[in-house]
A and B are shown apart, each in its own frame.
Chain A
Amino acid sequence: MKARFLPLAATLLIFLIAYAACYLQYPNMLSTRVVGNLLTDNAFLGIAAVGMTFVIISGGIDLSIGSVIAFTGVFLAVVLDSTAIHPLAAFVLVLAITTTFGGVMGAIIHYLEMPAFIVTLAGMFLARGMAYVLSVESVPIHHDFYGLLQGLYYRMPGGGRLTLIGGLMVAVFLAGILLAHRTRFGSYVFALGGGVPTARLMGVPVARTTIAIYALSGFLAGLAGIVFSLYTSAGYSLAAVGVELDAIAAVVIGGTLLTGGAGFVAGTLIGILIMGLIQTYIIFDGTLSSWWTKIVIGLLLFSFILLQKALVWASESDRAVLRRRLLRSKALR
């Protein structure tokens, strides 16, 4: 197996072992009901994490997504509460806002040569602040169309429900996988993560790609916000605090290099599922504190960072050995 795929394989293996362990203790864990809930409960986080995966592969970071999710929720709640705009129109409007917001952050990062960390940190405060400006209260959403969307689901064999938002997350992941690994844009994202000066020399449109990456992250954060408002039927400016950190954790656990240049969108899905699985287990157990989720995720993160470092070391020493042999055996005519 190529070293590139090792982190992904390790994540998958951990997920399967963890799931098997849970199944042995609580056989119900394998039911489609649990799987359906796993997807539904983590839909907004998963969608946001897809955007985060692109950002991190490109060598950046986006700290604003939690705030953008909250802003989206509050915006939708306030707009639906105080105007007669149809939710679909409101969705389009809010997605346009969050996409532009991300694109502007990308433009600042590129043109002003500012670190993504600082720019998106400012974006985080700005979006959260805008949510407060709209409303400091939790605003409930009562709209027939919301009820319609929340009622949509596909009944899986065994009685589990694949809800609209759970299905949407899966669709976003599929689209993300194609975009990352099968398009020129995707290869540009990886190229930026490999080194911006080199990428520029090789003809990558650096400005356009950087802006597009953060716009994509903003778009997906907005979509996650819509999903979150469907999930909670409310908009609250204090919601989704720290979601960006959960997303980063899922991305790293999914085998994406935090320094950029290598990673998998599919790995992020497994990362999300691992985190969801731990929470589900805690609910099944009933006696454990929910903080165990954080502890286990912390430990997992540590072990993945170690794994990635070990892989880097291993591939470096490999290369020294391979160097001469490969050349002699193959390159000579």
Chain B
Amino acid sequence: MNATSSEVLYRAEGVSKRFPGALVLDGVDFILRRGEVHALLGENGAGKSTLIKCLTGAYRRDGGTLLLDGESIDPRGTQEAQGLGIGTVYQEINLLPNLSVADNLFLGRQPRRFGLVSTAAMRRAARGILAGYGLDIDVAADLGSFSVAIQQLIAIARAVNLSGKVLILDEPTASLDAQEVGTLFAVVRDLRARGLGIVFITHFLDQVFEIADRITVLRNGRLVGSKPTAEMSRVELVTMMLGRALEQETHSRAPQPEISGAAVAEFKGFGKAGKIAPFDLTVRAGEVIGVAGLLGSGRTETAEVLFGVERADSGEARVGAKAVSLTSPRAAVAQGFGFCPEDRKTSGIIADLSLRENIALALQARRGWSRPLSRREQNALADRYIQALDIRTSDREKPVGLLSGGNQQKAILARWLALNPSFLILDEPTRGIDVGAHAEIIRLIEGLCAAGMSLLVISSELEELVVYSTRILVLRDRAHVAELTGSDLTPDQIVHAIAADGSGQAGA
């Protein structure tokens, strides 16, 4: 670990940002030192990206001061921030794939001779810059002809060349493989040695402990803490991120008996490169399998591979006794699978259609358009589930977009229940709905599993998970790392399993 110099490079004090109806940043302090890699962590909605946007001028902050090299600054846009010395590299690379590498590095400031761009001089300079990053590539080639990893390095080279004091890396490793990450980190270490202050945002805890000198954690728009990495344990970090007080008495509850019924579905070595490492999973009738992990740990990817949204490239799936291929959601539906995705606004409900139409959608899709459900059948279906799930609505013809979040969630659930699935996957079923509705959804889950349906429930609400799960799969860095059963089903154990070092025995 490098010794961190104590010279403060960029200091943000009491930064606040308010969006209509919500305070997304509440007086956050952030201190970046020269020659430091500073990891900024937090779950979804913690305020990381809002803070970054305030630091780079992409958002106008509502309160707080920014001091760069001790001088107060007030960037009105990313361009101005860049001019002051603050460069940002985003996850989706913001370069132009149709221009040459050299043009991308020098766009708008190409060296000129007699009014014309001096291509030779520009390419020479580009090669010189990239040599500093260990890149020896054809700078005249289109940027798009290079891998994402190399484009990422070029983006960093451009940002550093333009600004040169502060470098903000927003999830730079999200689409890189292990080797590419190694290359990127070599560059980051080099830049640190050159005295840059580097803000590093990622979901991968291993990477945080590998590269970061200091960690700052945000939660719900507030600063939870900021500490040197050396003084931070994994358990402490996960606890800070998830906001659990481990010492607290955890939810007391009789351990659920392990279910040893017939396997509804079996997956062996199932996985997809770059999304989720191969895993084994046996789903038994009437059990609820909880899935826990931090954001980006592969939770949603697991669900998508199981449901055929992402086509698995390894392993096999068996439903009942026969092998099946889950190449598309349609194929998965045919096997009796159902999936309520995490983001119901974009991939779940169709807001402008009525409640009745939303509920009937999946059943109609399975029947095919040539055999339409009659209006009477649709009405009966809708009424049945409005009653069974207690969907609060004035009538079944109300557009779903006008219902509350909890009721929208129930409408999606109703859509899949109408298919009478044998295996239902729920991704964050309680996200964004109020506390009362939480309890109802949980009761529903318990009721469904009592009726013999198998469920796989993904949730970041650990207390909820332990209430309804028969067993819990713990994910980290896109791999299944532990399975908790019986008396291990406590939030405490889950946090330990998430935080466990790759080599350690998880969840023991």
**Chain A residues in the interface with B (C-beta under 8 A):** 2-4, 178, 182-184, 186-188, 190-191, 193-195, 198-199, 201-204, 261-262, 315, 318-319, 322-324, 326-328, 330-333
Q: How many residues does chain B have at the interface if contact means C-beta atoms less than 8 Å apart? A: 38
In the complex, what residues of A have CB within 8 A of residue B98's CB?
190, 193-194, 261-262
CB-based nearest B residue for A195: B96
Q: When chains A and B are docked, how far (Å) is the Cα of A261 from the Cα of B145?
A: 14
- What is the minimal beta-carbon distance from A200 to any residue of chain B, in angstroms? 9
B99/A178 in contact, CB under 8 A: no
On whether the beta carbons of A326 and B179 are closer than 8 Å, the reply is: no
Flag if A201 contacts B107 (CB, 8 Å).
no
Q: How far is the CA of A328 from the CA of B134 in the complex (A)?
A: 12
Whether, in the assembled complex, B142 has its beta carbon less than 8 Å from a beta carbon of chain A, the answer is yes
Contact B147 A183 (CB under 8 A): no
B241 to chain A, nearest CB (A): 30
Q: Which of B95, B117, B135 contacts A187 (CB 8 A)?
A: B117
Q: Does B116 contact A (CB under 8 A)?
A: yes
A202 to B103, CA, bound (A): 11
Contact (Cβ within 8 A) B107 A202: yes
Chain B 109-132: CB-based contact to A (< 8 A → 1; otherwise 0): 010100111010000000000000
* Cβ-defined contact, B116 with A178, below 8 A: yes
Q: Beyond A190-B99, A190-B103, A331-B183: 8 further Cβ-contacts under 8 Å?
A: A2-B141, A4-B142, A184-B112, A187-B117, A322-B147, A323-B147, A323-B149, A332-B183
With beta carbons under 8 angstroms apart, the residue of A3, A190, A202, A326 that contacts B146 is: A326
B264 interface contact, C-beta 8 A: no
- Whether, in the assembled complex, B137 has its beta carbon less than 8 Å from a beta carbon of chain A, the answer is yes
Q: A183's contact among B115, B153, B180, by CB below 8 Å, is which? A: B115
The CB with the most chain A CB atoms within 10 A, among B96, B117, B142, B150, is that of B96
Q: Given that A193-B98, A203-B79, A333-B134 are known contacts, is A327 also in contact with B149, CB under 8 Å in the complex?
A: yes
Determine the chain B residues whose CB is within 8 A of the CB of A184 once the complex forms. 108, 110, 112, 117
With a CB–CB cut-off of 8 A, which chain A residues contact B183? 327, 331-332
Q: List 11 A-B contacts (CB under 8 A).
A: A2-B142, A184-B117, A186-B117, A187-B103, A187-B107, A187-B108, A187-B110, A188-B107, A315-B145, A326-B147, A331-B149
Q: Which residues of A contact B177 (CB under 8 A)?
A: 324
Chain B residue with the shortest CB-CB distance to A199: B96
> In the complex the two chains form, what is the Cα distance from A191 to B95 in whole Å?
9
Q: Which residues of A contact B119 (CB under 8 A)?
A: 182
Q: Given A319-B145, A331-B134, A333-B134, A183–B99 Cβ distance below 8 Å?
A: no
Residues of B at the A interface (CB closer than 8 Å) are: 78-79, 82, 94-99, 103-104, 107-108, 110, 112, 115-117, 119, 134-137, 141-142, 144-150, 153, 177, 179-180, 183, 186
Q: Are A198 and B150 in contact (CB under 8 A)?
A: no
Judging by beta carbons under 8 Å apart, are A204 and B147 in contact?
Answer: no
Q: Which residues of B contact A326 (CB under 8 A)?
A: 137, 146-147, 150
Closest residue of chain B to A205 (Cβ to Cβ) is B108
Given known A182-B117, A201-B78, contact A331–B144 (CB-CB < 8 A): no
- Closest B residue to A260 using CB positions: B98
Q: Which of A183, A203, A204, A322 has the most CB of B within 10 A?
A: A203
A309 to B66, CA, bound (A): 49
What is the chain A residue whose CB lies nearest that of B110?
A184
Q: A330-B137, A331-B149, A331-B183 are in contact. Are A203 and B107 (CB under 8 A)?
A: yes
A203–B153 touching, CB < 8 Å: no
Chain B hits for A204, CB < 8 A: 107-108
Asked if A188 and B78 make an inter-chain contact with CB atoms under 8 angstroms apart, the answer reads no
- Minimum C-beta distance from A179 to chain B (A): 9
Q: Is the CB of B145 within 8 A of A183?
A: no
What residues of B have a CB within 8 angstroms of the CB of A315 in the complex?
144-145
Interchain CB contact under 8 A, A191 and B145: no
Q: Which residues of B contact A327 (CB under 8 A)?
A: 147, 149-150, 179-180, 183
